[in-house]
Structure 1
Amino acid sequence: MSHRLPLFPLGSLLFPGLTMPLHVFEDRYRRLVTELMALPTDTPRQFGIVGIQLGHEVGELSARQLYEVGCVAELRDVHEHDDGRFDLVAVGGSRFRVDRVIDPDDEHPYLRAETTFLPDELGPDPDSRAERVGRLFGVYCDRLNGIGVPAEPPDEFPTDPLPLSYAVSAAMVLDQRDRQELLAAEHAAARLDLAGALLRRENRILAELATLPGGQFLRREVNPN
């Protein structure tokens, strides 16, 4: 079944079950938020967050190429400023595949897309994979904390395979391509396998680092559009 979604292309990714703060200042996205807020209270206020493969966030037609898989976002905690800007929190819902991008027009000045929602399946032997990734993520956090970089304690993470696969994917500091592969993985087992491989790589790097590059290694920044 096809779903038409307004799109919010970003240089970062939202994962199902996770949250993302957004600062909305461009006119086209201010209009989108206003339209969503005008929907009846029993209607989901949803849009699609999709990663930018080529281009950048700000400016019309600046996102020249998008990744194929994104995540539905639902508006939460919307605060409107006097000048029309918004601060809001988006909560990740279903993943979707972009089937066709619809260019902006006078009625809809933002991108839209025909999308197909993707199922969340566990895949083979998810429990043992989740246990293994949980241990690797514990090492990852310990090594970050050991060099003075705050990291989420493993016991605050879910243990069920599906939410764990998304939580670990969102928590690791990775480039956009790695994060996109995690989001697009066929099922939780495949995502956990990939997360495990990435954690082993990152743990080797952290073990060899005497000092970190300048700047905060783990950041929780507000994403401007």
Structure 2
Amino acid sequence: MSLRISIFPLTGAILFPELQLPLHIFEPRYRAMVGDALARDRLIGMIQPTDEIEGAPLYDVGCIGKIDDVETSEDGRYNIVLTGQSRFRLIRELEVSTPFRQAEVELIEEPAEEYLTLGERASFEHESRKFADSQGYSIDWDSVARLDDVSLINGVSQIAPFDSAAKQALLEAPDLRTRCDLLVQLMEFFGKSDPDDDRVTLQ
């Protein structure tokens, strides 16, 4: 199934199905995009550009979000909350007259009833604690323990302080176990960095 959607290319921001992403919309072209979405189906495709230059090519995979909450300021800015609907694969970007970009995409069918084994879950939580401690993060681990496997892995993938390429790899992972394994590897790698230093080293 393919469809045409408005896309919001934003470096470092990814969205997963069933999760939420708050956004502050202030650029005129994206205010136009939100206004258009609100007048139609409330859907926006979140996708990362491959570079931060204007009009950069897009990565192959993004996620459609539905505007579930919106606040409008007097100067026309929006505060919105997107709820992820489905990951998609980019077919082609369209030539359009709108100030915002649009694309033809195909939806990605998600694997059904994904879960981790008890050992996989325990290993992931152990590595998460090590990473949080190394970076100085304060985490409510009791709340973490109550999350189901999909919400935990996808939630960490969405908010983790990794670079855009790493976050894109997490979004493109074909299933939960692959994403979990990749998250552990990334936490081991990025956990070696100084939280007060932008550099990441393997030593």
SS for the counterpart of 2:56 is: strand
Q: For residues 194 and 146 of structure 1, what CA distance do their matches in structure 2 show? A: 18
1:134-160 Cα offsets, whole Å, 9 max, x none, are 533344335534764323526436654
1:2-49 Cα offsets, whole Å, 9 max, x none, are 01110000012222222222111222211121122223xxxx411100
- Aligned partner letter, 2:94: I
Superposition deviation, residue 169 in structure 1: 1.1
Deviates further, 112-121 or 142-151: 142-151
* TM-score, normalised relative to structure 1: 0.75
Alignment of 1:84-163 (within 5 A): 84-105=76-97, 108-121=98-111, 126-128=115-117, 131-141=119-129, 144-145=132-133, 148-153=136-141, 155-156=143-144, 159-163=147-151
Structure 2 vs 1, CA of residues 9 and 54 (structure 1 numbering), >3 Å: closer, same or farther? same
Alignment of 1:1-225 (within 5 A): 1-11=1-11, 12-39=13-40, 44-56=41-53, 62-105=54-97, 108-121=98-111, 126-128=115-117, 131-141=119-129, 144-145=132-133, 148-153=136-141, 155-156=143-144, 159-203=147-191, 205=192, 212-213=195-196
- Tell me if structure 1 keeps the 8 A contact 2:131–2:188: no
* TM-score, normalised relative to structure 2: 0.83
1:156-215 Cα offsets, whole Å, 9 max, x none, are 366544333312212422111111011011122221221232233345x27xx6xx3169
Structure 2 vs 1, CA of residues 143 and 190 (structure 1 numbering), >3 Å: closer, same or farther? closer
- Tell me if structure 2 keeps the 8 A contact 1:136–1:196: yes
Q: For residues 74 and 120 of structure 1, what CA distance do their matches in structure 2 show? A: 17
- Tell me if structure 1 keeps the 8 A contact 2:16–2:154: yes
Structure 2 vs 1, CA of residues 213 and 63 (structure 1 numbering), >3 Å: closer, same or farther? same
Gaps (5+ residues) in structure 1?
A: 57-61, 216-225
Number of aligned residues: 197
Structure 2 vs 1, CA of residues 176 and 134 (structure 1 numbering), >3 Å: closer, same or farther? farther
Deviates further, 81-90 or 153-162: 153-162
1:58-100 Cα offsets, whole Å, 9 max, x none, are xxxx131111100111112211111111111112221000101
- Tell me if structure 2 keeps the 8 A contact 1:140–1:202: no
- Tell me if structure 1 keeps the 8 A contact 2:25–2:79: yes
In the other structure, the counterpart of 1:220 is none
SS for the counterpart of 2:75 is: coil
Q: For residues 190 and 197 of structure 2, what CA distance do their matches in structure 1 show? A: 18
- Aligned partner letter, 1:174: F
- Tell me if structure 2 keeps the 8 A contact 1:136–1:199: no
In the other structure, the counterpart of 2:201 is none
Q: For residues 66 and 25 of structure 2, what CA distance do their matches in structure 1 show? A: 15
- Tell me if structure 2 keeps the 8 A contact 1:145–1:151: no
